[in-house]
Amino acid sequence: MQIQFLGTGAGMPSKQRNTSALALKLLEERGSFWLFDCGEATQHKMLHTTLKPRKLEKVFITHLHGDHIFGLPGMLGSRGFLGGSGRLDLYGPKGLREWVEVTLRISRTHLNYELAIHEVDEGTIFEDDSFIVRALPLDHVVPCFGYRIEQKPLPGKLLIDHAKASGVPKGPLLRELKEGRDITLEDGTVVRSRDVTGPPQPGFTVTILGDTRFTANAVKLAQDADVVIHEATFDQESAQLAGPYGHSTIVDAAKTARLAGAGTLIANHISARFLPEDAEHLAAEAAQVFSPVEIAEDLAEYEWKNGVLRRLYPSK
Amino acid sequence: MQIQFLGTGAGMPSKQRNTSALALKLLEERGSFWLFDCGEATQHKMLHTTLKPRKLEKVFITHLHGDHIFGLPGMLGSRGFLGGSGRLDLYGPKGLREWVEVTLRISRTHLNYELAIHEVDEGTIFEDDSFIVRALPLDHVVPCFGYRIEQKPLPGKLLIDHAKASGVPKGPLLRELKEGRDITLEDGTVVRSRDVTGPPQPGFTVTILGDTRFTANAVKLAQDADVVIHEATFDQESAQLAGPYGHSTIVDAAKTARLAGAGTLIANHISARFLPEDAEHLAAEAAQVFSPVEIAEDLAEYEWKNGVLRRLYPSK
Ligand SMILES: [Zn+2]
Ligand SMILES: [Zn+2]
């Protein structure tokens, strides 16, 4: 799993930071990636990455402010032009369906794939064999969700000696066992997967929060998460603006990560008032409350592997 | 007057060319600029120019395809954030009003200025003391307009010797005469502006066409224009695609300019199939029919002054 930031700014695009979007890359896990928010020019940012719009499987929208959605119609159109033919699932607050449908109709954008729009409520909004996604409302000036993405435990390692001892021949049966299925040998013996594999490997949990004031639901969504991506529009000096505009300071973000016992905090949705050289100052404010903390930047990429989060770009 | 191209591509953004938008800069003439189409990320391109969204006075939309409008909601919002408080006039085909209103409502974009949306039909769509804008339908796969912008003749030069001879004292009365108004002297003598000024100076005419097949209305709009900006999605080799997709070849564009007796043709809306190094090939195809021809590129800027069009950027 990798996380790539496509837009880490607040409200309006600047030369440094685009409006909100990030990709959860699940290419090894499911051959696809998911997007969280899709501000204007997300597809343009993507031109500078290895992400292929045709591999976009799901889009989760936190809220309907323009800086989080105005890149969506273009993305939907381009996905089709660029060969995306599988179903796309779109999740977000009430109002998303009307806007997308009116926009596609008036712009005569004919999608050559199925678009399923889910207006979500709190609770489990997606689940399959390997992933579960939960949503809870946050505390912004408009309805806004946070999302918790949990990868289910992965099958344990195949204990090849145990399998051999149980009489399993080399070949496809081993794969069945490795993937968690019991098998029957030619002589009628049943070999159970759990007898020839190690303990399940934990999957990852990543929490991606929309715009919000400090709120208990953010802590709930972030509980024990490996990675929490939290907005941090303001610092302590500008903290008095956070409440009225429905945003957080970077210290609010750090408090949430601390209360949740999270692994790593990535601070996102950074106001244009902060220049690139202010990243250290922001990180220092957070570090008084929680560490490790990272300040997101456009095109930054992180990889989670075997329980460890590592920054791939920009290199340290 | 300057013309600056913000997006010169067709259909989808590429690294070289953004989706459609161009600015008609009328800063000397009226302290503002006008936009023609507003594809996604037009405001992002603008960050790399001297254009200020608060000085945006009018937006003309040729048609409602996504690559011509998806940057509009973000532009409207940012104009307000960045201090634009004067009225904005938006012109375009039927459907524009519904889309803009639904989009502003659902994204809770509250504009702090007046937005006047005009769904246009053929004919004169705007006129004041100094400009007249006419629209005619073109021949695309959806309703699509071309626009002809005429600057009205400018007052002739003040003939200072004539004015003196008529007894006009130095001071504000000279300005009145220069700007075309007759005056009455203290002794009751009426001095007519036309008697103390040279012949009116011609204004410019620029024709900006939306997506279209070769069509008579394009020639009408371009008649004797100083500058014609015409789409050129295809070349002769790919000409068989022009009809089905409702587009032109660069030779179609050149034919239009020739039939219209236009000054300069700027070919725009260039397919991503053409690489930057293909510009010469495209220009050569056009030049067999019409010259001078320019191949538009993103951020290219042209200036019209005293009847001459000059490219400011990129420099020759
Ligand atoms: Zn936001
Ligand atoms: Zn087009």
Ranges of residues in chain A with a pLDDT under 50 are none
Asked if residue A67 belongs to a known ligand binding site, the reply is yes
pLDDT per position as a tens digit, B36-64: 999 999 999 999 999 999 999 999 999 99
pLDDT per position as a tens digit, A178-228: 888 999 999 999 999 999 999 999 999 999 999 999 999 999 999 999 999
* C-alpha torsion A215→A218→A219→A224, nearest 10: -170
Distance from CA of A266 to the nearest CA of B (A): 25
Q: What is the pLDDT of residue B5?
A: 98
Give Cβ neighbours of residue B37 (< 8 Å, ≥ 6 apart). Answer: B7, B20, B21, B22, B60, B61, B62, B68, B69, B210
Q: What is the pLDDT of residue A9?
A: 97
* Statement: residue B168 has pLDDT above 80: yes
Q: What is the pLDDT of residue B36?
A: 98
Give Cβ neighbours of residue A162 (< 8 Å, ≥ 6 apart). Answer: A195, A196
pLDDT per position as a tens digit, A156-184: 899 999 999 999 999 999 999 988 899 99
pTM above 0.95, yes or no: no
On whether the CB atoms of residues A29 and A6 are closer than 8 A, the answer is no
Ligand 1 centroid from CA A237, angstroms: 20
Q: What is the pLDDT of residue A155?
A: 85
* Window A:1-60, CB contacts with B under 8 Å: 11-15, 18-19, 40-41, 43-44, 47-48
pLDDT per position as a tens digit, B11-37: 999 999 999 999 999 999 999 999 999
Q: What is the pLDDT of residue B316?
A: 76
Ligand 2 centroid from CA B71, angstroms: 13
Task: Name the closest residue on chain A to residue B103, using Cα atoms.
Answer: A99
Ligand 2 centroid from CA A12, angstroms: 25
On whether the CB atoms of residues A213 and A243 are closer than 8 A, the answer is yes
- Hey, is B276 helix, strand or coil? helix
Helix pair angle (B72-81, B96-106), 10° resolution = 60
Q: How many helices (H) and strands (E) does chain A have?
A: 12, 17
The span from the CA of A272 to the CA of B111, in Å, is 20
Known active-site residue A89: no
- Hey, is A277 helix, strand or coil? helix
What ipTM was reported for this prediction?
0.93
Percent of chain B with pLDDT over 90: 95
- Do A73 and B95 lie within an 8 Å CB cutoff? no
- Residue A299's nearest CA partner among A71, A56, A44, A91 is A44
Q: Does A210 touch chain B (CB under 8 A)?
A: no
pLDDT per position as a tens digit, B206-246: 999 999 999 999 999 999 999 999 999 999 999 999 999 99
Mean pLDDT of B159-169: 93
